[in-house]
Structure 1
Amino acid sequence: MNRDRFATMACSVARTAGLIADPWTLLVLRDLFLGVNRFEQLVRDLGVATNILTERLERLMASGLVEREAYQRNPVRYEYSLTESGTGLYGVVISLLAWGDHHLAVDGVPMRLVHEVCGEEITPVVTCAHCGTVLRPDEVTVLAGPGGRHAPGTAVIAELLTMP
């Protein structure tokens, strides 16, 4: 699949999906958030072929989401860490976790999240930054933004957003 075509769409969902919407990429991000940061650890944890992992890590580095640093010189071995931009995807990853826990975890949740600030177990939710209310699609209005345009991937949406 040519993921680069999504980068030109006037849609933040499409652009983000072009970078991370691949199961291996999302699992690499999950592991990095959990502290699994060495190539060998990632291979062992994910059971992924080394060429696939290499490609995903290179894409994440080229996108500025991940950086690597050598922790051993002979032979050279690397550990990977999320950049500030990569860390910004935390909400996306734990939202996927919460949805999967709710809809797909028939044997119980695989991981529990505890908020270290208050010590309570949490279920991630998306809330309004202003009032703290949980966001629901029927309570949010979408307006045209300055970067929107009528183009492949947004043709119908652009028409809907410009209607009076």
Structure 2
Amino acid sequence: MRRKSLSEQQCPIARSLEHVGEWWSLLIIRDAMHGLSRFDEFQKSLGVAPNILTRRLTALVEGGLMEKRCYSERPPRYQYLLTPRGQDLRSVLMALLAWGNTHFAPEGASIQLKDVLTGELAEPMLVDRRTGQAISPSRHTLVPGPAASDGMKQRLRHANGVMSGDNPSKQESES
């Protein structure tokens, strides 16, 4: 049974999951960020079946997150390198690492992020590039972009009403 494609969704989260929503994809990208590039390196690191690894690498190449390059003609051998699009996932993976350490590591962190200049441990957080302010639900909200459909605008109006405490459906039923 084929799963539904998310590529036609307007939501950027859904569209992103179309490319990296399968867990092997993010683990392959993680390993590529650690310097792995060859099929056998990924397979050894992940313990994934060859057919699954082949499918995931193919999907990552087709999605523009990795590039497949021949490094040996006889026999033909390939390496898989992150494209700029794939490299841009670094901040997403760092946020996922921090979230996992906070919520799913009862024994403590097994991997941490360290500032190489100061030697201090770093705690990743999402900030507004323009202001340097931490992104937080109390200060920031989602709003429709220029390409938003009417359905997206309605969903965001509803979400903003719920986040602000205004429940439009509750207000309608009370009127």
TM-score (ref. length: structure 1): 0.87
In structure 1, what is the Cα distance between the partners aligned to 2:160 and 2:100?
35
- In the alignment, which residue of structure 2 is the partner of 1:30? 30
Matched, 1:109 2:109: yes
In structure 2, what is the Cα distance between the partners aligned to 1:104 and 1:121?
19
Number of aligned pairs? 160
- In the alignment, which residue of structure 2 is the partner of 1:8? 8
- Report the identity percentage: 32
In structure 2, what is the Cα distance between the partners aligned to 1:155 and 1:123?
34
In structure 2, what is the Cα distance between the partners aligned to 1:8 and 1:147?
13
In structure 1, what is the Cα distance between the partners aligned to 2:56 and 2:88?
18
In structure 2, what is the Cα distance between the partners aligned to 1:83 and 1:38?
15
Superposed displacement of residue 16, structure 1: 0.3
- In the alignment, which residue of structure 2 is the partner of 1:39? 39
- SS of residue paired to 2:79: strand
After the TM superposition, which of the residue ranges 43-52 and 136-145 deviates more from structure 2? Answer: 136-145
Which structure 1 segments of 5+ residues have no match? none
Matched, 1:134 2:144: no
- In the alignment, which residue of structure 2 is the partner of 1:95? 95
- SS of residue paired to 2:101: helix
- In the alignment, which residue of structure 1 is the partner of 2:83? 83
Q: 1:78 to 1:19 in 2, by over 3 A?
A: same
Superposed displacement of residue 158, structure 1: 5.1
Structure showing greater Rg: 2
Q: 1:105 to 1:150 in 2, by over 3 A?
A: same
Which structure 2 segments of 5+ residues have no match? 162-175
TM-score (ref. length: structure 2): 0.82
Contact residue 101 and residue 108 of structure 1 kept, 8 A: yes
Superposed displacement of residue 99, structure 1: 0.4
- SS of residue paired to 2:7: helix
Superposed displacement of residue 111, structure 1: 1.6
- SS of residue paired to 1:110: coil
